[in-house]
Structure 1
Amino acid sequence: MNTQTAGDLLRHWRLERRLSQLELAGRAETSARHLSFIETGRATPSRGMVAHLCQQLDIPLRERNRVLLAAGYAPAYAEPALDTPAMDAVRAAMRLILDGHQPYPALAIDQNWTMIDANPGVALMLTGIDPALLQPPVNALRLSLHPDGMAPRIANLAEWRGHLLARLVRQIEVTGAPELVELRDELRGYPGGETEVVLPEPDQAVVPLRLRHEGHELAFLSVTTVFGTPMNVTVAELAIESFFPADEPTRKLLTDAG
């Protein structure tokens, strides 16, 4: 994104959300003329109007700060480090979820899929992975799809790869993050099967992860948990990926091992 002014940025996000000026003006309860003036720089929006338009466009908090700065205002959303006292309650909640999910795997990631924390159950997923991929910062998508990562052990690699890439593409559409675009391009270069959509079976509810492990084929369902009312960038970009057994043999094997 090579835009600089607040108007340019707002126009970019309006087009990303596939809205006309008239549609956004209706949502924001302003006139299309005034919105046009803001986008072209003929009108200077108040801090409240910038925040209001960002909300109507569902712009990520990190990018809302950028729009505010471009308009000449201070950022509204802090970005505290996860290990600061202000984040104690968030870390405690995250740890409670990870520990409570044992013996099943669960990991915490940031917006770029960097692994922040994990419970001991994740260890079974890391068997045989090249140690270089486990050097910080560890990227969860790279671990999954890299030929030296989990990929050789994933029985339904084409299906799982298609699922992860589709999620990443949707995330790029929402956030516009250039780091995710680079990650997508890297992942697309890995071997892994067909690039076309894999159609589900008639009775298939979700895409499972089918992982070969010590002579067994484990089946997992993944669930993503996010904080419901984020008020800073750090919290808004956190997520927990939890894996549940998708069949009884998997549940029994992990429960007995745990």
Structure 2
Amino acid sequence: MAQGERGVAVVTGASSGFGERIAQLLSRRGYSVVALARRADRLKTLADENSTGSILPVVADVRDQEGLTRALDELPPDFRDISVLINNAGLSRGFGPLQSGSGESWREMIDTNISGLLNVSGLVLPRLVSRGSGHVVNIGSIAASYPYMGGNVYAATKAFVHQLSLNMRVDLQGTGVRVSCVAPGMAKTEFAKVRYDGDEQRADALYQGLEPLAADDVAEAVAWCLAQPPRVNVNMIELMPSEQHFGLGFAGGPTAPPGGADDA
């Protein structure tokens, strides 16, 4: 299969939510997509449902640098010339004040949202620099800018993503590689379900009283960043539901966090 006319895009966390929709949209827009995630069954479904064959499922964990290195080194020829990296893999685990938090949950968020992003970036950035062009889009969160009760460690990991995106731009100046950060607000995916350890009732309660973003909205924002001419670098996009407040709460009952259920 020939490489997509727009090049090859690596999308992490591609088995659900934002990552799945981003992979599907970029495939439709002419990219060959390396869909990277841990869940083989979800990735197989994603690839099988793509009629063009332009989505390659790659099972890997962003926290496992050796596994990532091996997976990228073993890409088929048509998927090796990576031009786009979408650092989407991320999660929030648990909810509550820092003083009653779980060290295990903190480590999982840090290992995925920070170390995982660095692992993938460290492997892909040299390839982009070598080819003299490319684009990195990091998925942040409005939690990085607008604090809410219970957000603490998750919000801090996303603040890292935002700051690293700016510093990536500085480091990559003159290389032809662009860097953008897309920061969504409340979006209905599996994110809240993961945060509440599979408690669907508690997760669904977060969205009462407003219409959240759809994963497609975030995918379109990513695609818009990529579609700008080479002279344009989109530093940051924030998007949130029209009815979501800036860190002040929203209608959603007693289980709703004051700042919304940020999804990234």
> TM-score scaled by structure 2?
0.25
Structure having the higher helix fraction is 1
Larger Rg: 1
> TM-score scaled by structure 1?
0.25
